[in-house]
Chains A and B, each alone.
Chain A
């Protein structure tokens, strides 16, 4: 490799521009997102009639909403040409050879087996996920678990989808939720019947294959009473996508006494705007556990929300965000305590370096009649140099009585004494700093499945390379 420090796509703009030109020609006469475009998507996907109606309703909402007036600057998104982003056959790179050298090199360095590389880059038409998927499928099917892609779910489990689809994240929520509602495509669907414990984590492998997937994908997970599931979304490898907007949506229904762990490591290529909406509804005695890692992307706005709807419902949120040069990652969590005795525990770590901007934003709400609420928010930030930025913006709206809500935030730097201490034990300066950073995110890493923890550590090492000292 000529340039070993480079781990992301910096020069993608020209390619992107070329492709956009092409698409502009295809949609020459159209401005903005039109009903016709949405109808095209819908008919191509063979939607049932009600889904088309919902898409059109979402489109109507989309037209009335403005871009968010807070958070990172989104002005580089050209909403007039949004159609270029949502063109139904907008694909990830068609062939492995088309994936930029840098990204391929990163795969090598992450130690991802060659067999998986192509698919992880989002190009793998021959990805063997079908095999993986079916082998998992068989053992689960006997217990009544449904695990499939959204399109199949819409055909085979129409009623379930209809009852839940965009009920937690209605299109009117914000402009990108509306956009999602109008043009969504791909994603995962999981249904776990009452009392069933899914022992192995399910991973969203196959969604990478669907056209437009990884861009406006919809994830819908329904856990019935007393069931449990660990679902892993995405992977730590950079996803390469020729279009640069991601507006996915995740809806999680956690039934009475059910337990859901939802783990994600997102590492989008550095031209992406990641505007993802995730929400969970937790019933009585239920538990939602989020493990969320945000790397990559140019701009991220991601605040998974937990609605604690039944008594004793609980939320555990563990997140890590790493913002480097040119990145503005605005992440956090939100919790709505809508019932008595609900509790939440939010713990996050953010790292910023080389001018990166990491913002932790959280909202905790306690509804007027909820009592005996417990919520603790702990966020720690680490800035690796003087030009990076870290902010903490917690919002608390407490209308109920007897709520114990605490917020703790620290923003710091790497302790030079700790670096010296490690050096005195023979560890080089770069490695000492990397160890301290890895130690800083350890509370998150230990929540991840081993292979993901290893990959996250590798990612951190790559991010830190050459910037220390």
Chain B
């Protein structure tokens, strides 16, 4: 099957440079195909953000065992920017502030790095402004320093802005909807919806199921203690919404006990 966009097999990972090595991901397997939207649910500390960071190649994490492949290519030898250039995008839970670099300049540098071609200033600006308008971001933000002095909601919208400009093949959205008011969640959801098509895929971490009401979710994974302990379709979201992680945790523990 060459139709796999992301294939993770038996992934074990820990924080880099820390002894003793304490596994955060403990044998995680996951496959994402083009056109799919996957959701990862899980209590705090279950390893969701670690998974995102490991897929992206964050130097703060070390893969101990297992494999990650993107479009049939092993990810581990690749640096984060090489992964980005192959089409993986990470929307940060807490986007970094970068003083002295304007949003426009950074996004243009990013476009240039991703495409390997020079970017025309004026046409890029037009494109930028039109996407900003869609996301209800004031055009003046293009001249502000990257995320500096932005509110939480503005930072998240700025991430979606980058998602839409970058048009990756796989979007990792790490709690992109957290800390947003109802209207902002709508804007973010619309952005993700507009991005999504049959050729690309999304892997979404969220605590807030409201955003999922707007998106056609294909698969839901429940992460617990660094492993996927339950999988299903959108119906799993409702179940967890109703019952919390308790029943799944119990079932998983029972399973391990055997």
B-binding residues in A (CB < 8 A): 415-418, 420-429, 431-432, 435-436, 438-443
CA distance A29 to B163 in the complex (A): 76
- For the complex formed, measure the closest distance between the CB of B102 and the CB atoms of chain A, giving whole angstroms: 9
A20, chain B: closest CB distance, angstroms: 43
Asked if B96 and A426 sit within 8 Å, CB to CB, the answer is: no
Whole-angstrom distance between the alpha carbons of A438 and B92 in the complex?
23
- Docked-complex contact A425 and B84, CB < 8 angstroms: yes
Residues on the B chain within 8 Å of A423, using CB: 79-81, 84
Task: With A420-B59, A425-B166 as known contacts, state yes or no: A431 contacts B113, CB within 8 Å.
Answer: yes
A439 & B113 in contact (Cβ 8 Å cutoff):
no
* Contact status B58-A420, CB under 8 Å: yes
A426 to B89, CA, bound (A): 9
B119 on the interface (CB 8 Å rule)? no
Q: Which residues of A contact B79 (CB under 8 A)?
A: 423, 428-429
Q: Which of B90, B97, B101, B114 contacts A442 (CB 8 A)?
A: B101
Which residue of A420, A431, A436 contacts B80 across the interface (Cβ within 8 Å)? A420
User: A439 touches which one: B92, B114, B145 (CB < 8 A)?
Assistant: B145
Query: Within the complex, what minimum Cβ distance (angstroms) separates A161 from chain B?
Result: 42
Query: In this complex, which of A423, A424, A427, A435 has the most chain B Cβ atoms within 10 angstroms of its Cβ?
Result: A424
Q: Which residues of B contact A435 (CB under 8 A)?
A: 98, 101, 106, 109
B interface residue count range (under 10 / 10 to 19 / 20 to 34 / 35 or more): 20 to 34
Residues on A with beta carbons closer than 8 Å to the beta carbon of B59: 416, 420
Instruction: Tell me the complex Cα distance, A426–B112, Å.
Output: 9
In the bound complex, CA of A438 to CA of B99 (Å): 9
Cβ A422 vs Cβ B98 within 8 A: yes
Taking the closest CB of chain A, its distance from the CB of B86, in whole angstroms, is 10
Contacts of B101 in A (CB 8 A): 435-436, 438-439, 442
A450 to chain B, nearest CB (A): 15
Shortest distance between the CB of B175 and any CB in chain A (Å): 16
**CB distance B100 to A425 under 8 Å?**
no
Q: List 20 A-B contacts (CB under 8 A).
A: A416-B60, A418-B96, A418-B97, A421-B95, A422-B106, A424-B89, A425-B81, A426-B84, A426-B85, A429-B81, A431-B113, A432-B81, A435-B101, A438-B100, A439-B99, A439-B101, A440-B99, A440-B100, A442-B145, A443-B100
Interfacial residues, chain B to chain A (CB-CB below 8 A): 56, 58-60, 79-81, 84-85, 89-90, 92, 95-101, 106-107, 109-110, 113-114, 145, 162, 166
Among A426, A439, A442, the residue within 8 A (CB) of B81 is A426
Which residues of B are found within 8 Å of A422, using beta-carbon distances?
98, 106, 110
Q: Cβ of B100 and Cβ of A428 under 8 Å apart?
A: no
B107 cross-chain contacts in A, Cβ below 8 A: 425
Q: Name the 10 nearest CB pairs between A and B, nearest first.
A: A439-B100, A442-B100, A425-B110, A423-B80, A426-B114, A426-B113, A421-B96, A426-B84, A423-B81, A439-B101
Chain B residues with Cβ under 8 A from A441's Cβ?
100
**A427 and B113 form a contact (CB under 8 A):** yes
Question: Which residues of the other chain, B, contact A440 by a CB distance below 8 angstroms?
Answer: 99-100
CB-CB under 8 A from B85, the residues of chain A are 426
Q: Complex Cα distance A290/B197, Å?
A: 54
Q: Are A425 and B113 in contact (CB under 8 A)?
A: yes
A432-B81, A442-B99 are known; give 15 further A-B pairs, CB within 8 A.
A415-B96, A418-B98, A420-B96, A421-B92, A422-B106, A425-B110, A425-B114, A425-B162, A426-B85, A428-B113, A436-B98, A436-B100, A438-B101, A439-B145, A442-B145
The residue of chain A having its C-beta at the shortest distance from the C-beta of B105 within the complex is A435
Most A Cβ at <10 Å: residue of B95, B109, B114, B162 = B109
Q: How far is the CB of B201 from chain A (nearest CB, A)?
A: 17
Distance of A442 Cα from B95 Cα, bound (Å): 21
The docked-state distance in angstroms from the alpha carbon of A151 to that of B101 is: 45
